Structure 1
């Protein structure tokens, strides 16, 4: 049992070495935050204002760079007007509310809300057995044997991200959290890719 567990863990970590180069939309927002934050702390006397500006810059750039993909995916399932409404609500709408609140804690908790919502969607898929999100996100034929396991893995992954974010909110400074937020797309992509590959190797078609 111990040997099997150690082998599974070793294969999981080996998956990180096979990760493909990251697209620019994953790296650029984090780079912007990492460079903007110390400059903003110098230029702005108020740490709260500096936090909000850095957060909005990073989040706004991330939304702008992902907008085309979001529109394509949404348009494939709903009508044109509904796509516009959903994109505006999930993107500029949510960001506008955070700007109006001018509350760093709300920005931090928004991240927990995002991962919690994702975990809930995957959990619904587990309950009804449709695995719709998994089939939509990984439509490749070789992934079809992974639907049940990968959906459960994604529930655990997103809940773990909620716990990690809440731990940082309670025990780390705003500076540390902001740096974490900037690096999060890179870190989460690494972890998620390794998880998907590990599940595919074990449960995918032809495994």
Structure 2
């Protein structure tokens, strides 16, 4: 079935309607950040703006990683042995926290988010170039999603590089304190966009089969 570009845009936007309730994991880290940063700014004083920023961001990131750690381990278990999965998960979770624990410059925090997108996009891109769908299968393990995995792999490359560009743009055009608000709502934005993109892939695949 042929669809015009306008049809695709309408289909994509329609998928944002009637979204289900959001998980705590999407907004709790942002709440920690938006509460922690002002409190730390007052406690540490105006001369320690960077330290307040980095400490609040570190706390929020720790909450985010902690809430998603079990799911990350489960996805890695689909590709690695139990020992390897735990080691890789601990490295993936602990290394960013260790780096940020030594930082007092907001730019380190902002670029850590960009690095996340680079790593995830790189993993999916490697699968795409090698004709594999293992990473996509770890995110969507259900049998009914198997036929969509090749296009979901392509979609995830686009998704992560798009949000990388968005984050780098925000770093350049807004103040660090304003970027914090962007980061706080970023999981919600990302969840909505990702859900819409996944449904778009499913609908387009169904259209091609019709």
What is the TM-score with the length of structure 2 in the denominator? Answer: 0.88
Alignment-derived partner of residue 184 in structure 2: 182
Structure 1 counterpart SS, 2:132? coil
What is the TM-score with the length of structure 1 in the denominator? Answer: 0.89
Once the two structures are superposed, what CA deviation does each residue of 1:65-106 show, in whole Å capped at 9, x if it has no partner? 112222233234333432332222111232012211333212
* Contact 1:19 1:194 survives alignment (8 Å): no
* Contact 2:122 2:157 survives alignment (8 Å): yes
Alignment-derived partner of residue 14 in structure 1: 14
Q: Does 1:135 align with 2:133?
A: no
Please say which of residues 11-20 and 183-192 is displaced more in the overlay: 11-20
Structure 2 counterpart SS, 1:22? coil
Please say which of residues 72-81 and 143-152 is displaced more in the overlay: 72-81
In structure 2, stretches of 5+ residues that fail to align are: none
Once the two structures are superposed, what CA deviation does each residue of 1:34-90 show, in whole Å capped at 9, x if it has no partner? 222223323221210110111011101111111222223323433343233222211
| Paired residues for 1:84-99 under 5 Å | 84-99=86-101
* Contact 1:143 1:204 survives alignment (8 Å): no
Alignment-derived partner of residue 172 in structure 1: 174
Structure 2 counterpart SS, 1:16? coil
Alignment-derived partner of residue 156 in structure 1: 158
Once the two structures are superposed, what CA deviation does each residue of 1:164-193 show, in whole Å capped at 9, x if it has no partner? 111111221101111111111111011000
Alignment-derived partner of residue 29 in structure 2: 29
